[in-house]
């Protein structure tokens, strides 16, 4: 299938030109021009979403499930074209895009199955007790209901699974919430072809056209307008700490504050406990290097900090990690801006006092090679900026004095998406002491693995305490993600005919 982008927004079923345009920055091929969304386009899209909510928000679960499955089908029908433009724009290998497309359509079908099951509704009923003394009890029923139009921001590092029809969009649509997506300027063509698939599904299943809109933009105006719009009731965001925090502040300062579900950054520390270090230092080092460089380090679960007790095992670990990273050649990053930010972050780290450069990362235009640094536990604890994320294949080895300092480092961590323990049986007592600390620091705890794989299942938690995310109780992956876009409503002594269909 040959496909050529139009460069337009999709707003309430219509392809809309922009008054101004911006040029894309593809890894391969010629740039294309795309409309620059303004507050006016956002307003039109959000008002259409509000109008769609009066029908879509009160539609049957079967209707919404069929819609989600139709989106998945339409994306699969465009599989080759989606992979081609996604790879050209981002530089990601075609095999990676094929897998990510499968994850995206799998998410859509998973949520279809999830809402058909109905358990997510958390239906409760306390029957009336008319004879209770001293006062009778009314009949009370409770069910989860959709909150209204949702704004979603496309992510740079997942042009499919965390963008136009990604997890935020899928879970919001499953809940019954129309969606307005602010497309990511790093892959606008990918956003457009997926929006085309969603429009086909809208028409096939007879949805209100305002149920989904895509507003393209390379400026802040569209994103800020989306978060500030009074008809938007929640926002899903995956991106940088600085950009996400600015939008979070807008969401909180509105006349009607709304939940902002932002995933903002994490270094996903790995603790190599003493017995494991003694027995498997070289093996763990090679596996860590592979995880650190997977996808050129452009995963939100990239394990950027590793803590190990000082000594001979730490020496072996550093040697093996350095060799493995040194053998990894330069690779293309998602955008020129991301590559430049990686170069600045690596240079800043190299200039730091008491930080050794083990492997100096190379950054040339959009191509980067891994960087590895090392420091001691005292320096790491005294310099919180050493624990800040540098997006890309950059690792920091922290040599703690002993197990006591490893626990101190754990207590000093900021909020994380993940924390990993590399441990053997003899490390169990130390791991047991660390667990209460680590549980307060991250949304997902791992043993003897690496966090760069995120399963899309019922039990997945992809979130964590700030700054990993802005809402520590919410996940953006797995079926629990639907809860972000629902709210409980109680009905007291309500006639059967007036109850929501799911309570009758």
pLDDT (tens digit per residue) in 415-473: 999 999 999 999 999 999 999 999 999 999 999 999 998 999 999 999 999 999 999 99
The stretch 466-483 carries a mean pLDDT of 96
The stretch 265-270 carries a mean pLDDT of 96
Distance CA 462, CA 464 (A): 7
| Model confidence band, residue 350 (pLDDT cutoffs 50, 70, 90) | confident
Contacts of 405 (CB under 8 A, 6+ apart): 377
Q: How many helices (H) and strands (E) does the chain have?
A: 14, 22
In our burial notation (b when 16+ CB lie closer than 10 A, e otherwise), range 308-332 reads bbebebbebbbebbbebbeebebbb
pLDDT tens profile 171-215: 999 999 999 999 999 999 999 999 999 999 999 999 999 999 999
Q: Is the pLDDT of residue 363 over 90?
A: no
Q: Which one of the listed residues 263, 275, 320, 389 is annotated catalytic?
A: 263
Distance CA 283, CA 309 (A): 16
Distance CA 455, CA 286 (A): 23
Contacts of 199 (CB under 8 A, 6+ apart): 10, 13, 209, 212
| Model confidence band, residue 81 (pLDDT cutoffs 50, 70, 90) | very high
The pTM (predicted TM-score) of the whole model is 0.96
Q: Is the pLDDT of residue 96 over 80?
A: yes
Q: Is the pLDDT of residue 118 over 90?
A: yes
Distance CA 358, CA 375 (A): 10
| Model confidence band, residue 228 (pLDDT cutoffs 50, 70, 90) | very high
Q: Is the pLDDT of residue 362 over 90?
A: no
Exposed, middle or buried: residue 92 (CB in 10 Å: 0-12, 13-18, 19+)? buried
Distance of CA 320 to the CA centre of its chain: 31
Q: What is the 3-state secondary structure (H, E, C) of 392-459?
A: CCEEEEEEECCHHHHHHHHHCCCCEEEEEEECCHHHHHHHHHHHHHHHCCEEEEEECCCCCCCCCCCC
Is residue 177 flagged as an active site residue?
A: no
Average pLDDT, the chain: 96
The residues that bridge with 212 in the sheet, in sequence order, are 179
What is the DSSP code (8-state) at residue 83?
Answer: H
Q: What percent of the chain has pLDDT over 90?
A: 95
pLDDT at 361: 79
DSSP string, 346-362: HHHHHTSTT-EEEE---
Q: Is the pLDDT of residue 1 over 70?
A: no
Contacts of 134 (CB under 8 A, 6+ apart): none
Q: Beta strands 9-11 and 14-16: pairing type?
A: antiparallel
Is residue 300 flagged as an active site residue?
A: yes
The stretch 214-233 carries a mean pLDDT of 97
| Model confidence band, residue 79 (pLDDT cutoffs 50, 70, 90) | very high
pLDDT at 365: 85
Q: Is the pLDDT of residue 253 over 80?
A: yes
Q: Which of 239, 278, 294 is nearest to 261 (CA)?
A: 239
The stretch 469-496 carries a mean pLDDT of 97
| Model confidence band, residue 352 (pLDDT cutoffs 50, 70, 90) | confident
User: Cα-atom radius of gyration of the chain, to the nearest Å?
Assistant: 24
Question: Nearest 5 degrees, angle CA 329-CA 335-CA 340?
Answer: 75
Distance CA 19, CA 36 (A): 7
Please tell me the least confidently modeled range out of 6-10, 319-323, 351-355, 473-477. 351-355
The stretch 231-258 carries a mean pLDDT of 96
Q: Are 85 and 193 in contact (CB under 8 A)?
A: yes
Q: Which one of the listed residues 41, 50, 177, 300 is annotated catalytic?
A: 300
Q: Are 393 and 368 in contact (CB under 8 A)?
A: yes
pLDDT at 488: 98
Distance CA 307, CA 309 (A): 7
Residue where the block lists tokens 């763990």: 284
């Amino acid at each position: 299938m040959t496909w050529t982008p139009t460069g337009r927004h999709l707003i309430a079923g219509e392809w809309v030109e922009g008054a101004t345009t911006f040029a894309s920055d593809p890894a391969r091929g010629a740039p294309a021009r795309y409309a620059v969304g303004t507050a006016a386009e956002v307003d039109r899209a959000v008002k259409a979403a509000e109008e769609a909510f009066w029908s879509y928000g009160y539609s049957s679960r079967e209707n919404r499930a069929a819609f989600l499955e139709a989106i998945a089908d339409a994306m699969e029908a465009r599989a080759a074209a989606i992979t081609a433009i996604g790879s050209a724009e981002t530089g990601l290998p075609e095999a990676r895009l094929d897998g990510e497309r499968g994850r995206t359509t799998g998410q859509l079908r998973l949520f279809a199955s999830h809402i058909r099951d109905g358990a997510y509704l958390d239906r409760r009923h306390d029957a009336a007790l008319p004879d209770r003394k001293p006062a009778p009890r009314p009949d009370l029923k409770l069910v989860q209901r959709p909150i209204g139009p949702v704004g979603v921001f496309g992510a740079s590092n997942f042009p499919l699974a965390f963008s136009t029809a990604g997890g935020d969009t899928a879970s919001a649509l499953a809940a019954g919430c129309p969606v307005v997506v602010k497309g990511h300027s790093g892959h606008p063509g990918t956003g457009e072809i997926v929006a085309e698939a969603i429009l086909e599904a809208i028409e096939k299943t007879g949805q209100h056209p305002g149920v989904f809109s895509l507003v393209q933009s390379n400026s802040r105006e569209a994103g800020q307008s989306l978060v500030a719009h009074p008809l938007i009731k929640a926002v899903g965001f995956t991106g940088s700490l600085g950009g996400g925090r600015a939008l979070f502040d807008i969401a909180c300062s509105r006349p009607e504050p709304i939940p902002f579900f932002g995933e903002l950054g994490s270094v996903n520390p790995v603790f190599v406990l003493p017995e494991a270090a003694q027995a498997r230092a070289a093996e763990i080092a090679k596996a860590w290097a592979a995880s650190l460089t997977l996808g050129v380090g452009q995963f939100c679960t990239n394990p950027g900090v590793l803590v190990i007790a000082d000594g001979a095992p730490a020496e072996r670990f550093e040697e093996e990690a350095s060799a493995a990273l040194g053998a990894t050649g330069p690779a293309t990053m998602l955008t020129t801006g991301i590559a430049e930010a990686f170069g600045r972050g690596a240079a800043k780290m190299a200039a730091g006092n008491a930080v050794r450069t083990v492997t100096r990362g190379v950054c040339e235009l959009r191509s980067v090679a891994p960087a590895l640094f090392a420091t001691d536990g005292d320096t790491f604890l005294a310099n919180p900026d050493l624990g800040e994320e540098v997006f890309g294949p950059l690792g920091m080895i922290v040599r703690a004095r002993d197990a006591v300092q490893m626990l101190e480092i754990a207590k000093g961590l900021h909020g994380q998406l993940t924390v990993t323990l590399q441990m053997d049986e003899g490390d169990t007592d130390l791991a047991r002491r660390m667990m209460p600390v680590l549980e307060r620091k991250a949304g997902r705890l791992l043993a003897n693995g690496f966090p760069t794989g995120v399963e899309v299942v019922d039990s997945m938690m992809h979130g964590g305490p700030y700054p990993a995310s802005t809402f520590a109780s919410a996940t953006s992956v797995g079926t629990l993600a639907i809860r972000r876009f629902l709210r409980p409503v109680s009905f007291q002594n309500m006639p059967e005919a007036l109850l929501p269909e799911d309570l009758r």
